[in-house]
Amino acid sequence: MDWKISSGFLAEMIPLQLPAVIGTEIAGTVVDAGPGVTEFRIGARVVGFADSRAFAEFAVAGAARLARIPEGLTAEQAVTLATAAETALRGLKLLAPAPASAVVVNGAAGAVGSAVVQILVADGHTVIGTASPINHDYVRSLGAEPVTYGTTMLDEITTAAPREIDAAFDTAGQGFISRMAGLVPPNRMVTITDFAAGDQGAIVAGGDPLALTAETLSPVLDLASHGAFRTKIAQTFPFDQLTQALALSLTGHGRGKIVVRGVSLH
Ligand SMILES: NC(=O)c1ccc[n+]([C@@H]2O[C@H](COP(=O)([O-])OP(=O)(O)OC[C@H]3O[C@@H](n4cnc5c(N)ncnc54)[C@H](OP(=O)(O)O)[C@@H]3O)[C@@H](O)[C@H]2O)c1
């Protein structure tokens, strides 16, 4: 999301006036609260979505955009879950997989994909997840059956599926919805990245980053604090290496989230 905003891909939704601060997700400690805010005291550890943009010494966020970080979870672990869990839960609500059904997740090793896999597995679904071969063990460790997303993907999914596939969750695009249409009706697929797939009948979970709230995050944060939901940090960068962090994100093959450490966390 952040490199897409900084590259201007989302200029219609989020126009930038330079010099601009970017950054969507935050975790840290409340240093001040506006009048009428009763949810969080000064000193509370919180995670969520910044109104003022995240890559800065301080950020401003509406109270509804923040959730408390439970004991047992660091700020760095918590911030890996903000967008990933919110997006996974929002997409799954739209998709509504049938109980105990088989579901395919495209991009299962990614930040959103790994959250989708874990929520589905916890709900008793059989999950088949696409990933590069190097990420197959990781996807398996999350509880999904891994398949490679290349030319053999459809055959591998058919072989891996124990029965008819009910639904698919696309986090990676690359024509996944069109290719899967022979196995799953488009209206049983949700995508968070291939917005043109809506024309084929797929469900599009757009998600305006400026309007996201943290109301769905607390249960996932609690699970993570007990080790029942995996958080994965691909790499942590100091604040002055933000450019390198965005460049790593741009490669599109992250296993987990990239964390930028704010100045105030040192
Ligand atoms: N609409 C919304 O509300 C919303 C919210 C959040 C994010 N997003 C978007 O959703 C996408 C995923 O976000 P993320 O944070 O999960 O990204 P991420 O952590 O970088 O993960 C991307 C994943 O895509 C996989 N991938 C790369 N090329 C692929 C291909 N050809 N086929 C299948 N999978 C492929 C990678 O798998 P390997 O590493 O195994 O190759 C990687 O695990 C991004 O485009 C992001 O902007 C949308």
Q: How far is the CA of 101 from the centre of ligand 1 (A)?
A: 23
| Structure-model confidence comparison of residues 153 and 1, the more confident one | 153
CA angle, 262 then 263 then 266, to 5°: 100
Whether residue 152 contacts residue 90, with contact meaning beta carbons closer than 8 Å, is answered with no
What does the alpha-carbon distance between residue 46 and residue 79 come to, in Å, rounded to a whole number? 9
Q: Where are the domains of the chain?
A: 2-82+210-265, 83-204
Residue from 81, 112, 217 whose mutation best tests the ligand 1 pocket (most atoms within 8 A of CB): 112
Ligand 1 atom 15 nearest Cα: 111
83-204 fold: Rossmann fold (3.40.50)
Q: What is the pLDDT of residues 91-113, one digit of tens each?
A: 999 999 999 999 999 999 999 99
Q: How far is the CA of 254 from the centre of ligand 1 (A)?
A: 8
DSSP sequence for the chain: -HHHHHTTTTTTTS---SS-----EEEEE-----TT--S--TT-EEEEE-SS-SSSSS----GGGEEEPPTT--HHHHHTTHHHHHHHHHHHHHH-PPTT-EEEEETTTSHHHHHHHHHHHHTT-EEEEE--GGGHHHHHHTT-EEE--STTHHHHHHHH-SS-EEEEEESS-TTHHHHHTTTS-GGGEEESS-GGGGGGT-EE----TTT--STTHHHHHHHHHTTSS---EEEEEEGGGHHHHHHHHHTS--SSEEEEE-GGG-
Residue 19: asked if its preceding bond is cis (omega within 30°), the reply is: yes
Is there an atom of ligand 1 within 6 Å of 206 CB?
A: yes
9: its two tokens = 């891909």
* Atom number of ligand 1 nearest to Cα 209: 3
In terms of Cα–Cα distance, which of 200, 202, 179, 180 is closest to 190? 202
Assign domain 2-82+210-265 to a CATH class. alpha beta
* C-alpha distance from residue 257 to each of 31, 145, 177, 214 (Å): 25, 21, 25, 18
What does the alpha-carbon distance between residue 75 and residue 221 come to, in Å, rounded to a whole number? 11
pLDDT at residue 140 tops 50: yes
Is there an atom of ligand 1 within 6 Å of 109 CB?
A: yes
Q: How far is the CA of 36 from the centre of ligand 1 (A)?
A: 38
CA angle, 68 then 70 then 72, to 5°: 150
Q: How far is the CA of 233 from the centre of ligand 1 (A)?
A: 15
Query: How much of the chain exceeds pLDDT 90, in percent?
Result: 87
pLDDT at residue 264 tops 70: no
pLDDT at residue 247 tops 70: yes
pLDDT at residue 266 tops 50: no
Side chain identity at 266, as an amino acid letter? Answer: H
Is there an atom of ligand 1 within 6 Å of 192 CB?
A: yes
Q: What is the pLDDT of residues 24-38, one digit of tens each?
A: 999 999 999 999 999
Q: How far is the CA of 193 from the centre of ligand 1 (A)?
A: 8
Is there an atom of ligand 1 within 6 Å of 4 CB?
A: yes
pTM for the whole structure: 0.95
Q: How far is the CA of 32 from the centre of ligand 1 (A)?
A: 35
